[in-house]
Amino acid sequence: MEVNEANNLAIKRSLPNADDKETEPERYKKIKLSETGISSDTGKHTEITEGGLQALPSQQNENNEKEDEEELDNAVLEDDEDDGDTFADMMKYGLVEQDVGITKFVSSHQGFSGILKERYSDFVVHEINKDGKMVVLDDLSVPADDEELSEDIFSVLSAQDKQRLEDLQHFKNKEDSVVIEVVEDTKEKRTVIHQAVKSLFPGLETKTEEKEGKKIIVAYHVAGKTALANPRKHSWPKSRGSYCHFVLYKENKDTMDAINVLSKYLRVKPNIFSYVGTKDKRAITVQEIAVVRITAQRLSHLNKCLMNFKLGNFSYKKYPLKLGELQGNHFTVVLRNITGSDQQVEQAMTSLRDTGFINYYGMQRFGTTAVPTYQVGKAILHNKWSEVMDLILKPRPGERGYLVKCREEWAKTKDPEAALKKLPVKRCVEGQLLRGLAKYGMKNIASAFGMIPRNNRLMYIHSYQSYVWNKIVSKRIEEYGLKAVPGDLVLKGATAVPIEESDVEKHTIHDVVMPLPGFDVLYPKHKIGKAYEEMMAADGLDINNMKHKIRDYSLSGAYRKIIICPENVTWEVLVYDDNKIPLVHTDVEKLEGTPLPESSKDGKYKALKMDFSLPPSTYATMAIREVLKMDTSIKNQTQLNTVWLR
């Protein structure tokens, strides 16, 4: 295998057609890789995007949740108005691959250009569960034991009754119960009302009473405020598993946003949902979700209410889902308007299948603004909390939208409460940090930073680990090429051991792992081990002392393969005339019997459609980078796009 240096190869963009209704800002959105389902991540590490990082649903500040929901829509609308210009301006100050150590290729084929994510439907991700089965949406039916619930439960309550019950559910009214008058009083009608209240408003119980000779239904709280997060045990059949598992198909919405939407419609807390991995926004993704004591029928009813979502494949089980319990993700990716010849495509895809790609951490790992996430991580490891605060909150060149006024207010006053008032969406990292500063004060920034959900805090130091790993892996490949050498590390079970001279012929580069820096890992026994030490020393860190006085920020380290070979690799070259024509047959289209449009045999454009599976924490962008031989950074693509359109 040959090692090839990265070079700046232009990525071609299509000029807008006269009849194309997409605006220029929408075209910029096509290349917002940080929002895509590009990482085959387990969900353990959350990627940051340019709009501020949202807190995980299970860890959002409950006291402020409703306030945030009411403000969210206006903030999103305000931010979307200048989204294209915002993104293009901000990317002038963003990172390119070389900044984070992504500099090598393994293949020798000639690169070619193509358009990634012309449409979000050009990127389809299916989760691969822990049993190795690809998760698909192919059944919308409801399990038989739910069928006793009448469809009338969704219409039997008036809008006024629903509002009063919702207020009662969230402890917003002064009364401790709500009376529902029964029109056309029959036992059957009362039964439906009882079912409706219990199904639609978890935490409420009902009883029938008589008042002035008439039957009334009284709704009341059965278990105090804890009932919202932990729905009634006694109203759930004992023979049924407590968790309803279902397949969630979503379009152009990340997992955490999707769960927020589902919880809002179901009137429950987001933390009763569980999943094995997060899927990002600009894609069609299919994954398994589990929810505590919500019936399949209630979930199925959402298919009538929500756009760009489909829920199905319902089943009841006795356990939730756990982050990381998956084998990976399967990707179907369409690269449009490719310039490569059939021979180039064949060489590129054969190399991807047989040799693989360098397992770099992708660009979305490091943020998309002028403040890389690894810089924040380095400041945390140094225990420099004022610097951490400044890096997260200071104004950022080229940024627009709702965060700008907040940052400006902070820079001017250093008053967290004043800055918070300028921030309509307070669930982002900036909002959580400002809340912490308002609570703990400027002399206890570490505790204020702790207001940010743990996964999001750890994302910063994981970003620094990833930065070091990328840089050192490029050095390793430059020094020793793409073969195993004595002193490299390989795994025996979960333990890393160095390759001895006598065993070197038994191993290939596909066996070699490199450590993410930490206190519980072994480093290579050749000069690359010293390179780790030198790089971290240059950053003012001691590789032999990776324990932090705050336990959460102590890095134990981990091992990661240098080269990944995708599985189930297939590809085909398609021709088409219309940029809007779909080239991937989605699960929903298959369910609905919608055929794909017939492809033209003499189309003006060529597209490369490829399928492949990747293990967790592996970045599909890095596989695509190896095929196209192009810089996947948003800054590079935005600049190329802007220049080409002039």
Q: pLDDT higher for 115 or 541?
A: 541
Return the pLDDT at 76.
36
Retrieve residue 339's tokens.
């310039």
Retrieve residue 187's tokens.
């036992």
* Residue at token pair 């909002």: 431
| Cα separation, 212 vs 206, whole angstroms | 19
Q: What is the average pLDDT across 202-210?
A: 81
Residues with Cβ within 8 Å of residue 119, at least 6 apart in sequence: 30, 580, 582
pLDDT beyond 80 at 308: yes
Beta 39-40 vs 563-564: how paired, if at all? unpaired
458-514 pLDDT, tens per residue? 999 999 999 999 999 999 999 999 999 999 999 998 899 999 999 999 999 999 999
| Cα separation, 113 vs 221, whole angstroms | 61
Are the beta carbons of 243 and 272 closer than 8 angstroms? Answer: no
Beta 123-129 vs 284-292: how paired, if at all? parallel
In this predicted structure, which of 151-160, 195-204, 223-232, 289-298 has the lowest mean pLDDT?
223-232
Predicted confidence band of residue 233 (pLDDT cuts 50, 70, 90): very low
Residues with Cβ within 8 Å of residue 32, at least 6 apart in sequence: 49, 50, 87, 282, 368, 634
The 3-state DSSP class for residue 312 equals: strand
Return the pLDDT at 641.
45
C-alpha dihedral (403, 405, 406, 411), degrees to nearest 10:
120
Length of the chain as a residue count = 646
581-640 pLDDT, tens per residue? 899 999 999 999 998 877 777 788 999 999 999 999 999 999 999 999 988 777 665 554
Share of the chain above pLDDT 70, in %: 79
535-579 pLDDT, tens per residue? 999 999 999 888 899 988 998 999 999 999 999 999 999 999 888
Q: In Å, how far are 215, 259, 562, 583, 618 from 16, measured between CA atoms? A: 66, 35, 40, 19, 33
Q: Tell me whether residue 280 is one of the annotated catalytic residues.
A: yes
Q: Is 22 left (phi over 0), alpha (psi -120 to 50) or beta?
A: beta
Return the pLDDT at 145.
63
Retrieve residue 569's tokens.
């690799």
Q: What is the average pLDDT across 169-174?
A: 73
pLDDT beyond 70 at 93: no
Return the pLDDT at 208.
87
Retrieve residue 67's tokens.
């306030």
Retrieve residue 12's tokens.
């071609």
Return the pLDDT at 636.
62
- Secondary structure letter of residue 35 according to DSSP: G
Predicted confidence band of residue 235 (pLDDT cuts 50, 70, 90): low
Predicted confidence band of residue 47 (pLDDT cuts 50, 70, 90): very low
Q: What is the average pLDDT across 146-168?
A: 73
- Three-class DSSP labels, 499-538: CCHHHHHHCCHHHEEEEECCCCCCCCCCHHHHHHHHHHHH
- Chain centroid offset of residue 427 CA: 16
Residues with Cβ within 8 Å of residue 515, at least 6 apart in sequence: 469, 489, 496, 521, 522, 523, 532, 557, 558, 559, 560
Beta-ladder partners of 335: 116, 608
pLDDT beyond 70 at 211: yes
pLDDT beyond 60 at 286: yes
Q: What rounded mean pLDDT belongs to the chain?
A: 81
**Contacts for 236-240: CB closer than 8 Å, 24+ residues apart:** 236/293, 237/145, 240/145, 240/316
Q: What is the average pLDDT across 524-529?
A: 96
358-404 pLDDT, tens per residue? 999 998 889 867 789 999 999 999 999 999 999 999 998 877 777 89
Q: pLDDT higher for 316 or 206?
A: 316
Return the pLDDT at 644.
33
* Residue at token pair 């480093």: 523
Residues with Cβ within 8 Å of residue 534, at least 6 apart in sequence: none
In this predicted structure, which of 17-21, 48-52, 133-137, 600-604 has the lowest mean pLDDT?
48-52
- Chain centroid offset of residue 186 CA: 49
pLDDT beyond 50 at 426: yes
The radius of gyration of the chain's CA atoms, rounded to the nearest angstrom, is 27
- Secondary structure letter of residue 54 according to DSSP: B
pLDDT beyond 80 at 14: no
Q: In Å, how far are 12, 252, 253, 424, 558 from 24, measured between CA atoms? A: 16, 19, 21, 26, 43
Retrieve residue 73's tokens.
């829509």
Q: What is the average pLDDT across 73-93?
A: 45
Q: In the chain, what are the helix, strand and coil shares in percent, each to the nearest 5?
A: 40, 20, 40
Question: Of the candidates 81, 126, 80, which has an alpha carbon nearest to the alpha carbon of residue 611?
Answer: 126
**If residue 580 lies in a helix (H) or strand (E), which one and from where to where?**
none
Q: What is the pTM of this model?
A: 0.76
| Cα separation, 239 vs 237, whole angstroms | 5
Beta-ladder partners of 288: 247
Return the pLDDT at 223.
53
Return the pLDDT at 22.
39
| Residue 159 buriedness (CB in 10 A; 0-12 / 13-18 / 19+) | exposed
Predicted confidence band of residue 153 (pLDDT cuts 50, 70, 90): low
pLDDT beyond 70 at 68: no
| Residue 168 buriedness (CB in 10 A; 0-12 / 13-18 / 19+) | buried
Predicted confidence band of residue 169 (pLDDT cuts 50, 70, 90): confident
Helix crossing, 402-413 with 65-80: angle to 10°?
Answer: 110
Share of the chain above pLDDT 90, in %: 50
| Cα separation, 344 vs 110, whole angstroms | 7
Return the pLDDT at 240.
87
pLDDT beyond 70 at 30: no
Question: Of the candidates 157, 135, 92, 124, which has an alpha carbon nearest to the alpha carbon of residue 248?
Answer: 135
Residue type at 145 in one-letter notation:
D
Question: Of the candidates 466, 393, 428, which has an alpha carbon nearest to the alpha carbon of residue 45?
Answer: 466
Q: What is the average pLDDT across 270-287?
A: 90
Q: pLDDT higher for 377 or 57?
A: 377
In this predicted structure, which of 216-220, 240-244, 479-483 has the lowest mean pLDDT?
216-220
| Cα separation, 417 vs 482, whole angstroms | 54
**If residue 205 lies in a helix (H) or strand (E), which one and from where to where?**
strand 204-211
pLDDT beyond 50 at 71: no
Give the ranges where 402-453 is alpha helix by DSSP (H): 402-413, 416-421, 429-440, 445-449
* Residue at token pair 């597209």: 607
**Which listed residue (254, 280, 587, 631) is catalytic?**
280
